[in-house]
Structure 1
């Protein structure tokens, strides 16, 4: 299971790693963190009956101070460091002391990538930029790009009226990405509001512009033209970050985040001997 502040996703595997069923919920996480009882209730409601199978979980439950492995570290170490709560086996997150940072769930996704090396970009509510070398996490950094966009448009000066329906416009998105890539003369988020006010940006394209500006700034802070970047994402996030990296001139190798998460969970469970239980 992948248990975060934004969603709960679960997959039931057979002994060969084939997915038998899946579940997703948002209401289950409307509380500070997950407890063993909450996880058991979620699984019982999903699969039915009593829980007599091993459960492996990553995300917020692995973020406790005593659960974290310090980087640099081998991803192989995760299977030997599982924290057990009855039938539940929690994968530890990763911590970085300087600058202080955390991975909570993304470490499992990295396992699912296999023995890749290089710069890894994992977009999300908080986007992670990871340096990976043959199964060893050297370091990482977090950008709150998605959260900042959400706050600006829900509570900030760029708050959208209920009557304004947003549509994604690739041309607008890329235009604002390119504005943010010019680090010597980059626009600020206020420029999006100003562009609407003076009539050079349509109201329904505000999110396209703001996302382009913020994602472009995120990319520009971590990569240079010609860099090879491993992008781990799905759907709109894969499209948006892929476009931004292309605008920068980076070379992109794409992986599905959901498939990497599934593979990582199963591989860690197998390495920890949970399939024999």
Structure 2
């Protein structure tokens, strides 16, 4: 780390979170706002970077997430799997004019499908670097686009993405179920019932319409519909994830505590051991591990 420390930024589609990190890796300051890449006009990213440096100090910057996508500032090409800390560092996109570097995303292909991630790789590698997950592990990163990743000897060897969070948001705002789904999803009895239904039947689209029918016929209260729908979606997510797991018996959940709590409850229903890890802690560990390699 440089004597001045650095600014680390987790810059997503809808939000950005910036951290001022001291020379010894200590967290000095947090800053967050809703200026994700979708809120910044093409050609305005340089000004947004300059404003952030003015706010947080003229330090070197390490940027991760959608800021490095083809919708962001400067594209940092995807690194192929398997990839660990050395491969991420080798793929950094240097922007000397701004004293900044952008973390690459990861890509994975097998005989049947292709997949990409951008941003989650920092947390996955950070969890290993900080000893929060073993070097050989199965990791689930819940979110808008949930990730399931196999980590072998500290490197991400394979992963798959599930659009669980985005589907829930679309159902809640733009579907025939929207009126029934306004109550927040919690890991209550209705959530567990939804998880169990998905694990046992795996007829997701039919089960989702059943929410409307059960509401109309008085079987399901509207205040429980959002939790039940969340359980259906997360149950389907977990069923696919455990099929992807291979020999791993424990799932390490990395992300926002409220969201990992839902997945943890669902995994317990599936009789699967799990460990919850704070996403911010993992991100900071990963970004600091990369900084130690380059500065």
* TM-score under structure 2 length normalisation: 0.84
User: 1:206 is matched with which residue?
Assistant: 225
User: 2:191 is matched with which residue?
Assistant: 173
Q: 1:272 to 1:223 in 2, by over 3 A?
A: same
User: 2:68 is matched with which residue?
Assistant: 62
CA offset digits 1:170-194 (Å, max 9, x no partner): 1110111100001466652111111
How many angstroms does 1:58 deviate by? 0.4
| Cα distance in structure 2, aligned partners of 1:165 and 1:145 | 18
Q: 1:102 to 1:32 in 2, by over 3 A?
A: farther
Aligned residues: 268
Q: 1:167 to 1:143 in 2, by over 3 A?
A: closer
The range that moved more, 32-41 or 252-261, is 32-41
SS in structure 2 opposite 1:11?
A: strand
How many angstroms does 1:28 deviate by? 5.1
- Residue 166 of structure 1 contacts residue 207 of structure 1 at CA under 8 Å; is this kept in 2? yes
Which of 40, 44, 56 aligns to 1:31? It is: 40
| 1:1-277 equivalent positions in 2, closer than 5 A | 1-27=9-35, 29=37, 30-31=39-40, 35-44=45-54, 46-47=55-56, 52-64=58-70, 67-85=77-95, 86=97, 87-98=99-110, 99-114=113-128, 116-160=135-179, 165-166=183-184, 168=186, 170-183=188-201, 188-223=207-242, 227-273=249-295
Q: 1:169 to 1:196 in 2, by over 3 A?
A: farther
CA offset digits 1:7-34 (Å, max 9, x no partner): 1001101111111000011145413688
- Residue 187 of structure 2 contacts residue 265 of structure 2 at CA under 8 Å; is this kept in 1? no
The range that moved more, 18-27 or 77-86, is 77-86
- Residue 14 of structure 2 contacts residue 35 of structure 2 at CA under 8 Å; is this kept in 1? no
Q: 1:118 to 1:32 in 2, by over 3 A?
A: farther
How many angstroms does 1:95 deviate by? 1.1
- Residue 75 of structure 1 contacts residue 137 of structure 1 at CA under 8 Å; is this kept in 2? no
The range that moved more, 145-154 or 66-75, is 66-75
Q: 1:231 to 1:161 in 2, by over 3 A?
A: closer
How many angstroms does 1:207 deviate by? 1.0
Any unmatched runs of 5+ in structure 1? Answer: none
| Cα distance in structure 2, aligned partners of 1:231 and 1:167 | 18
| Cα distance in structure 2, aligned partners of 1:165 and 1:149 | 13
| Cα distance in structure 2, aligned partners of 1:76 and 1:36 | 28
The range that moved more, 201-210 or 26-35, is 26-35
| Aligned CA-pair RMSD | 2.3
Q: 1:28 to 1:60 in 2, by over 3 A?
A: closer
Q: 1:21 to 1:125 in 2, by over 3 A?
A: same
* TM-score under structure 1 length normalisation: 0.89
Any unmatched runs of 5+ in structure 2? Answer: 1-8, 129-133
The range that moved more, 211-220 or 110-119, is 110-119
